[in-house]
């Protein structure tokens, strides 16, 4: 397909996102093709490792291509989004549990669906242009694609902070927060990829000292509040306008659900549990949340003025995260 370049290169399986003009946004077809390629290489002895990268300087992958989900939801066809999210999450889990090394080279924007591709690789490489974020609360969604799993494992209250504000992380912060592993100057990346393909050995990756992590010294104690309202009150008391600005702009329901989900994910033993919880929200998102309005305001009309209308109380959050019964997201190893 035109949006991906999937091939074998010596000892490596190679997956390159090839939609640089669209910031390599991930479509449903791309998610399925990535999973199919990984499944095909799983038992192939000629493929010793997998390299995932992307064309263009601006983005590894700036998120999911959700236009079809939006238009389907507006027309009352909620199955389009449900099928997309289910298949995307199965692809995310395949990367996380892959039995061979997966090396992701993440330049530029790495957001939402991009984190779902690169953030679960066994070897996650970032450079000076890297900007990692989970900004879904700004479009009425929640950090999905295994985002709550990653946020839950960030040190201290970084997970709550990133999930509620959608703040961007440079390379140092991304490594500190557990969204990346290795810093390498981007001028070296092509030579490193060539060496990986030639040797089939992920130990060919050498580590360099990353830039400083600003999050390491930031006081995020306010994000220990039991509710979003308590967090806002603590931030107001501290005069933290930088954090308050996005929180006041984002969907109240999304933030309340995100807070609950990040904290619940801290008890999960494997990422599939977090993904299944995320799917309960996204399965319902086009019918029962602020998602369509958020996408309209931020992506379709781009007026940046969403009119949030969903309730954000505990009852609504519980309803969005309730078991889906026969609609629950199932995993191959659960069958």
pLDDT tens for residues 263-317? 999 999 999 999 999 999 999 999 999 999 999 999 999 999 999 999 999 999 9
* pLDDT reported for residue 14: 98
- Indicate whether 1 pLDDT > 80: no
- Mean pLDDT for 13-27 is 97
Catalytic one among 72, 108, 112, 113?
113
Q: ∠ CA 166-85-323 to the nearest 5 degrees?
A: 95
Catalytic one among 144, 160, 278, 293?
144
Band of the pLDDT at 74, cuts 50, 70, 90?
very high
Q: What are phi and psi of 108, to 5 degrees?
A: 60, -145
Q: Read out DSSP for 105-125?
A: EE-BEEETHHHHHHTTSSEEE
| Domains: count for the chain | 1
Q: Report how far apart, in Å, the C-alpha atoms of 261 and of each of 41, 74, 274 are.
A: 33, 26, 8
Band of the pLDDT at 334, cuts 50, 70, 90?
low
* pLDDT reported for residue 77: 97
Band of the pLDDT at 204, cuts 50, 70, 90?
confident
- Mean pLDDT for 234-241 is 97
In our burial notation (b when 16+ CB lie closer than 10 A, e otherwise), range 115-154 reads bbbbbbbbbbbbbebbbbbbbbbbbbbbbbbbbbbbbbbb
- Mean pLDDT for 153-178 is 98
Catalytic one among 53, 65, 88, 136?
136
Residue 333 lies in a domain: no
State the Cα–Cα distance between residues 105 and 118, nearest whole angstrom. Answer: 8
Residue 329 lies in a domain: no
Ramachandran region, residue 212 (left: φ > 0; alpha: ψ -120 to 50; beta: rest):
beta
- Mean pLDDT for 195-218 is 93
* DSSP assignment letter at 50: E
* pLDDT reported for residue 207: 83
State the Cα–Cα distance between residues 258 and 305, nearest whole angstrom. Answer: 21
- Indicate whether 247 pLDDT > 90: yes
State the Cα–Cα distance between residues 329 and 49, nearest whole angstrom. Answer: 28
* pLDDT reported for residue 299: 92
Q: Which of 39, 175, 36, 147 is nearest to 97 (CA)?
A: 39
Residue found by looking up tokens 């990653």 in the block:
150
Residue 332 lies in a domain: no
| Percent of residues, the chain, with pLDDT higher than 90 | 96
Band of the pLDDT at 332, cuts 50, 70, 90?
confident
127 is catalytic: no
CATH number at residue 85: 3.90.226.10
Residue 232 lies in a domain: yes
Average pLDDT, the chain: 96
Residue 152 lies in a domain: yes
* pLDDT reported for residue 206: 86
Q: Report how far apart, in Å, the C-alpha atoms of 308 and of each of 58, 166, 177, 312 are.
A: 30, 17, 30, 10
- Indicate whether 105 pLDDT > 60: yes
Residue 74 lies in a domain: yes
| Percent of residues, the chain, with pLDDT higher than 70 | 99
- Mean pLDDT for 229-250 is 97
Q: Please indicate, yes or no, whether the overall pTM of this predicted structure exceeds 0.95.
A: yes
Band of the pLDDT at 69, cuts 50, 70, 90?
very high
Residue 76 lies in a domain: yes
Residue 220 lies in a domain: yes
Identify the domain containing residue 240 by its residue range.
4-324
Token pair listed for 6 = 């999937």
190 is catalytic: no
Q: What are phi and psi of 313, to 5 degrees?
A: -85, 175
Greatest distance between any 2 Cα atoms in the chain: 59
Helix (H, G, I), strand (E, B) or coil at 296: helix
Catalytic one among 63, 64, 114, 138?
64
64 is catalytic: yes
Q: Which of 202, 215, 136, 122 is nearest to 171 (CA)?
A: 215
Q: Provide the CB-side half-sphere exposure for 214 (13 A, CA).
A: 5
Q: Read out DSSP for 113-177?
A: HHHHHHTTSSEEEE-TT-EEE--GGGGT---TTTHHHHHHTSSTTHHHHHHHH---B-HHHHHHT
136 is catalytic: yes
């Amino acid at each position: 397909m035109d949006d991906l370049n999937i091939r074998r290169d010596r000892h490596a399986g190679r997956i390159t996102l090839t939609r640089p003009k669209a910031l390599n946004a991930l479509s449903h077809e791309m998610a399925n093709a990535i999973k199919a390629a990984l499944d095909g290489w799983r038992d192939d002895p000629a493929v010793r490792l997998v390299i995932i990268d992307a064309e263009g300087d601006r983005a590894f992958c700036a998120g999911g291509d959700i236009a079809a989900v939006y238009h389907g939801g507006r027309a009352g066809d909620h199955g389009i989004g449900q099928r997309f999210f289910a298949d995307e999450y199965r692809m995310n889990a395949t990367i996380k549990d892959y039995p061979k090394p997966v090396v992701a080279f993440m330049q530029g924007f790495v957001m939402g669906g991009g984190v779902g591709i690169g953030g679960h690789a066994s070897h996650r490489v970032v450079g000076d242009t890297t900007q990692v974020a989970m900004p879904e609360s700004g479009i009425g969604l929640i950090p999905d694609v295994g985002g709550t799993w990653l946020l839950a494992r960030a040190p201290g209250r970084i997970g709550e902070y990133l999930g509620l504000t959608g703040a961007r992380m440079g390379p140092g912060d991304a490594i500190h927060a557990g969204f990346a592993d290795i810093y390498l100057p981007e001028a070296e990346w092509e030579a490193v990829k060539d060496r990986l393909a030639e040797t089939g050995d992920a130990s060919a990756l050498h580590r360099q000292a990353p830039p400083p992590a600003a999050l390491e010294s930031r006081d995020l104690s306010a994000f220990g509040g039991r509710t979003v309202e308590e967090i806002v009150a603590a931030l107001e008391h501290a005069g933290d306008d930088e954090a308050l600005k996005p929180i006041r702009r984002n969907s109240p329901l999304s933030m309340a659900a995100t807070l609950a989900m990040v904290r619940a994910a801290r008890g999960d033993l494997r990422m599939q549990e977090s993904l299944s919880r995320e799917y309960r929200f996204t399965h319902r998102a086009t019918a029962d949340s602020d998602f369509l309005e958020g996408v309209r305001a931020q992506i379709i009309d781009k007026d940046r003025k969403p009119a949030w209308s969903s309730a954000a109380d505990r009852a609504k959050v519980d309803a969005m995260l309730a078991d889906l019964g026969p609609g629950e997201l199932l995993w191959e190893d659960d069958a």
